[in-house]
Structure 1
Amino acid sequence: MSRHVVITGLSVLAPGSTDTEGFWKMITAGRSAIRRITAFDPTPFRSQVAGEVDLDPLACGFSRREVRRLDRASLLAVACARRAVAEAGITSGTSIDPGRIGVSVGNAVGSATSIENEYVVLSDEGRQWLVDQKYQSPHLFDYFVPGSLARETAWAAGAEGPVSVISAGCTSGIDALGHACQLIQEGSADVMVAGATDAPVTPIAVACFDAIKATTRRNDDPEHAPRPFDRTRDGFAIAEGAAMLVLEDSEHARRRGADIYGTITGYAAHSNAYHMTGLSRDGNEMARAITTALDEARTDPTAVGYINAHGSGTKQNDLHETEAFKKALGEHAYNVPVSSIKSMIGHSLGAIGAIEVATCALAIRNGVVPPTANLHEPDPDCDLDYVPLEARDVDLDVVLTVGSGFGGFQSAMIVEKWRGGHV
């Protein structure tokens, strides 16, 4: 018999908030956390705004040694993992076999913050062509190995089962959760601590997105800069963040009396094999991922009650998504509320997919669809119900979330209300 995957704990660290409750209040209020970059002087850059997390590692329980050793992306991941496993009740001292607990972490740019900082020191601010290794950190190797993100998360969770990093650009968060679901379904684990983390607010990352003009130039008005599906949009705001979810075999969760947010019933990932950064207008690639995920969930398209869009705020993505929703859901697409939380917290690359899945679980639990902020002038070509400006009360049973990433990656996931059996 197929095992059903349920969500028994979650934690989000995103711009504008220091915990999951603050995150949910902020996005349902339609408040933006985008601001002028404070991590470094952004003056030389085309795009000078971002979503930054006001993380106080010491207040989160990290020791000074951990703060010195861990990259920012690891700090975000571990902080979320500790909170998620505590909420789910799988901390040390429980009867759960640690060999049956696994970890799956999504990430796009690795330990970007620490690698860039180390290069600046070793090269003497870029003045030396040959770097001087006398000045390198003893933790430099860990920064170069993406697996360190999953290792630190596993240590924090007390997980001794399967541990992996999934890196597929901006779909990494959804894909890491999808991989975790598959491990539970096949019986390789009973519990998975899964999600994603990224801390790309660094000069090199900002410069890369500047070069392809994917990020907003609305530097004089950061809070209103990201405008998904708006006629005046001009790109996304780069951001950092993390989310970790505890996924569990439903019978395992039932036996220990765990509280359940919802169930993940379908997941799919496709590649367009088309262009490194480009998307076709017809939306076929994303539509295939949505249809495959719905098929796996055994859910009719007309059951979808909310779509958490990728909604990056670039013209080609917004048009691609709009067409994909119409192709996959047919006429029902016009009846479904859609929104993009990137309008408020920015685009945290590999982390955002996990943050959006957590948003779906919270939307189901609270019966609220968060809005798309800054949507004042809808693009006439984006003619669906993109929930502008204010949250909406909706009793939700089935939610669809999607991701789209450079390299042609397209992923979709179905999150449903848990009713004590297969929905």
Structure 2
Amino acid sequence: MQTAQNTREPDPVAPTPASELNTTPNLAAVPQQRLRIAMITETFPPEINGVAHTLHQMVKSMLERGHEVHLIRPRQGKADQGTLTPREGLHEQLTHGLPIPGYPGLHFGLPARGAIRKAWKDNPPDVVYVATEGLLGGSVLSAARSMGIPVISGFHTNFHRYSQYYGLGFMAPVISRFLRRFHHRTHCTLVPTDSLRDELQAQGFGTCRVLARGVDTRLFNPARRRTDLRAQWGLEENEPAVIYVGRLAAEKNLDLAVEAFRAMQARQPKARFILVGDGPAAAELREHHPDLILAGVHIGEDLAGYYASGDIFLFPSTSDTFGNVVLEAMASGLAVVSYDYAAGRQHLRHGESGMLARFDDAEHFKALAAELVAEPHTWKHLGIQARAEAETVDWRCEHDRLEALFLEYAQAK
């Protein structure tokens, strides 16, 4: 796919010198102070997706560290009165929104510049974090810039790549230009991997800095393996359970996941494929593949039990910016088959802690999956090594870095 030309957009934020782009903020050199942090997102729990989960972790962590958080998000229906328990330092502001086609119950935010400026008139934030690039995020970005408040953005979703899955591939250059201009107007853009940082900076997105993801290794743990669940799937202990967790939608490359499982099934007929999640592709999967186990949506300890009861995890996505589910599968002791991309590239070593196919090479992905399912010793070894790698990835360390970034930009204004 062609990307937009690397041109400078009007009215940019001054770029960070190259020597400072990839440095870790010096926590010792930054005086600790209580910040007022505004966080803007179109999605938040109880919605179930990687962006909502990541933002929830950020909000909780900043509150626990003593900072004030002003969470701004669209109201998800008339019954939505806020999802967070009221506590000191938290202000949750719900704005107007409209339903998102194809996503029942979800709304996108409408511009709210006037309401935001009013809310900030007497008590403006020290720094703003914009997680989503929609109308709401754009209006908050404009309001913050007009008030001289530093803005950090997050690149959480590859919208320009999603377009190809919905017959809108011709829109990719337009979407790319919009995203580039949006992020170029912020002081920096946070991305989850080194490779994505390099890609976006090469495309002219401005200053990008890496803020990786974490995983709760106490929740996602091999010890949560459930023999009763495996029995429901019709599996004995040494028969392979192949797991997928995520939205059941075209942009997740589910066709490849099913094709890979069929290749695995040819090598190991007793294998079962369990898909955890829901979405617009669920009905078609049930109709055309009645032998697959569509488990629906699960969260918390219940979800952790599904992960730990599996053996091999398939992550065929070529559109996710990261893939939190990969870390959750690793922490649960599963052998992961992924493209050499996003979370897989960042955290797995091919043949040592996972299997990494050449990016967007579907035949290679299927071949690796089929090879792995025939070798129980290998998939068990990879799962052990994946768990060990996941234990080195901690939300607390990443939120230390996030806090330092907030302090750095707040003090630079």
TM-score (norm 2): 0.32
Larger radius of gyration: 2
Query: Which protein, 1 or 2, shows the higher relative CO under an 8 Å CA cutoff with sep ≥ 6?
Result: 1
Give the number of the structure whose residues are more often helix, by fraction. 2
TM-score (norm 1): 0.31
